[in-house]
Amino acid sequence: MLPTDPIAQQTLRREVRRLRLVVIVLSVVIVGLGWFSAGLLRTIDRDYATLLDRSMPALNQLRVLSNSALSTQRALLGGLAAPDPATRARAIGQMRERLQTTRSRRESITDLQVFQDRPAFQARLARTGAGYEDAAVRALELLEADLVDDAHRLRADVVKPALDRYLTEIEIAARYVEDSSQNTRDSVSEKIRSRSVLLVGVTSLPLVLFALVALTIVALMTAVVVILRRVGGEAGP
């Protein structure tokens, strides 16, 4: 039975409005916590994507570049050891093609994001790579001129040392990428641990809020029942 007393009706309406306000506020808070949790998960995913984008492509391309440089050297050795002009011509064609491939791969690697903050790596890799490629081109020209003995000497005195320096710089660059990747991985792991603790705390808040809502509803309904009984008692005989 609803109270007929104006004061009681006003009190009941006030309690109902308070209950409605509490439910609305708590609903907004729960929705906000949901958005916050989703934002934390997106941040973790973005950090892992950054880690993979920085390290994996660079390491793979450095490995491919090293193999490409070695394949150029093998083609040169094939041309030097060729038993006839036709075999030498095929080796020269392979070497020219592999040199172009090696140069293109080197230029693409120095533009990777992981090297943008270390211009010294870019400069050394570019310098040693260009030095090896120039020496290999000179050996190629000697082979094309059928100056095999001169090409042998150039390979031993210039091309091979240039290749060794180039491969050393590639190895140094690979170690830098691995160290940078490890540092980034440690940083990401630390962020994930701290955010996981925060996320656990955030996800437990809805339970607390639901419990608070239930207690608030019980308290307000108890207040309404008390008001109705009081009004009923006052209206009795």
Give the model confidence (pLDDT) of 40-76 as tens digits. 667 666 665 665 555 567 788 888 889 989 998 888 8
Domain boundaries along the sequence of the chain: 18-235
Give pLDDT, residue 50: 60
Pair of tokens at residue 190: 């630390």
Which of the given ranges, 79-88, 108-117, 132-141, has the highest pLDDT on average?
Answer: 132-141
pLDDT > 60? residue 77: yes
Give pLDDT, residue 220: 64
Give pLDDT, residue 126: 86
Mean pLDDT of 167-173: 90
Rounded Cα distance between 167 and 125, Å, is 9
pLDDT > 90? residue 158: yes
Model confidence over 176-217: pLDDT tens digits?
A: 877 776 656 656 666 666 666 666 666 666 666 667 767 766
pTM here is: 0.58
Instruction: Report DSSP letters for 107-154, one per residue.
Output: HHHTTSGGGTT-HHHHHHHHHHHHHHHHHHHHHHHHHHTT-HHHHHHH
Grouping H, G, I as helix, E, B as strand and the rest as coil, residue 4 is: coil
pLDDT > 90? residue 218: no
**Percent of all residues in the chain with a pLDDT value above 90, rounded to a whole number:** 16
Q: Which CATH class is domain 18-235?
A: mainly alpha
Rounded Cα distance between 235 and 237, Å, is 7
pLDDT > 90? residue 19: no
Mean of all residue pLDDT scores within the chain: 76
Which residues, other chains included, contact 233 with Cβ-Cβ below 8 Å and sequence gap of 6+? Answer: none
Which band of pLDDT confidence, cut at 50, 70 and 90, is reported for residue 165? very high
